[in-house]
Amino acid sequence: MWTIGIRNLLHDKVRLSVTLFGITFAVVLIFVQVGMYLGFMRASSAVIDRGAADIWIVSKNSANFDWSQPFPERYVHIVRSTPGVQRAETLLFAWAFARLPRGGTEQVEIIGYHPSAGKGWGQPWGLVEGEARSVLGGDHVIVDKSSYRRLGELRVGDRLEIMGRSVRIAGLTEGIRPLTTAPYVFASYETAHRIASYVGRENTVFILVQAAPGHDVGEVAARLARKLPHVDVMTAAQCSRRTRWYWTVSTGMGFGFLLTILLGFFVGVTVVGQTIYADAIEHLREYATLKAIGGGTRELLIILWSQAGVAAIVGYAAGTGGAFGIGGLFNRLGLSVVFPPALLVMVAGVTVLMCLGASLLSIRKVLRVDPATVFKA
């Protein structure tokens, strides 16, 4: 029976093109929107997610990573003396202004880490030139290549002025894109303090904690929270979630993405629904004939669902190809678009749902057709 459905679908090339365009459009829109959202979210909490710390200590009620405020650095000693803590390191974060060699000013986000602490304690990743320890021995910084569009094409050895201090580029990374428009500038903890002197030498912005083996991270975090009532103590997962939640809900970004995704879905349903319905109406006499000669609900559904299924498969394939093309282009332009395997499965499911949903009206019409109409010439 599916032969009838597919032949009918292929018969009208214009209608088929409109159907496939509708699905492809919806698939591309959904993919790119979700991919951009995931890219933004990944960027928003990348420093937390890539860290080795189990617990993050941040200023009271700080809404997200980028909005954290200074608090007394001496808290780190309290943390280190708390049972269940294996290791604790400070990490500085501060907003600053960079004066560009070509003139003009750009805002940057300074991350001051301890180069000797090892990987996962605030160090940059994705290094293509230099290493994490390259920031030692002077006002040296590491920037990401994605900052070129804002800071200019900096090379190792070039100098940049941040908050009135001349710093030298000691390394380059690739793939570290903050969610905000201000590029990250990695420096040693001491250099970061010198650049962002407004933080205060006696203050820090984060304390990163690793729980001792055999200790429950949640319990250690609760113990620290009792000892440090003037800051927030969170597990890394909670800290990451809080940052993502802020950008998703508080800024309205998530709603914007959701709206566009729903728009894509409904455009798809409408376009596909209309074309499949028009096809059903055009072939209503054939459906009546099939019912007259003994075709039941099962056969009619096979025909309609085969049409919806083929349209979904082709539209999904074209849409996925298009989305990966656009995603690649966006990534080259500095926008982070992420398509994890789970997203491929999810969009496939949404596409099938969209096409089956779009065929509901046709199914209703076809199932109700009176086989006796075949006797009217």
For the residues of 43-85, what is the DSSP string, one character each?
A: HHTHHHHT---SEEEEETT--SGGG---EETTHHHHHHTSTTE
Binding mask 35-74 for other proteins (x = CB under 8 A): ----------------------------------------
Q: Which is nearer to other proteins, 5 or 264 (CB)?
A: 5
Interacting residue with other proteins among 156, 267, 292, 314 (CB under 8 A): 292
Q: Would you count residue 367 as binding other proteins (CB under 8 A)?
A: no
Find, among 309, 299, 308, the residue nearest to 273 by Cα: 308
Rounded Cα gap, residues 118 and 115, in angstroms: 6
Q: Which is nearer to other proteins, 11 or 159 (CB)?
A: 11
CA distances to 52, 55, 221, 291 from 208, rounded to whole Å, are 8, 6, 11, 70
Rounded Cα gap, residues 267 and 358, in angstroms: 10
Amino acid identity of residue 143, one-letter, is V
Sign of the Cα torsion 137, 141, 144, 149 reads negative
Minimum gap (Å) between residue 23 Cβ and other proteins: 21
Minimum gap (Å) between residue 369 Cβ and other proteins: 12
Q: Which is nearer to other proteins, 30 or 310 (CB)?
A: 310
Select from 6-14, 57-65, 145-153, 201-209 the region that touches other proteins (CB under 8 A): 6-14
Minimum gap (Å) between residue 9 Cβ and other proteins: 9
Amino acid identity of residue 156, one-letter, is V
Q: Would you count residue 295 as binding other proteins (CB under 8 A)?
A: yes
Q: Would you count residue 296 as binding other proteins (CB under 8 A)?
A: yes
Interacting residue with other proteins among 130, 286, 301, 335 (CB under 8 A): 286
Rounded Cα gap, residues 342 and 326, in angstroms: 19
Rounded Cα gap, residues 157 and 138, in angstroms: 13
Q: Would you count residue 138 as binding other proteins (CB under 8 A)?
A: no
Q: Would you count residue 363 as binding other proteins (CB under 8 A)?
A: no
Binding site for other proteins (CB under 8 A): 1, 3-4, 7-8, 10-11, 285-286, 289-296, 299, 370-372, 374-375, 377
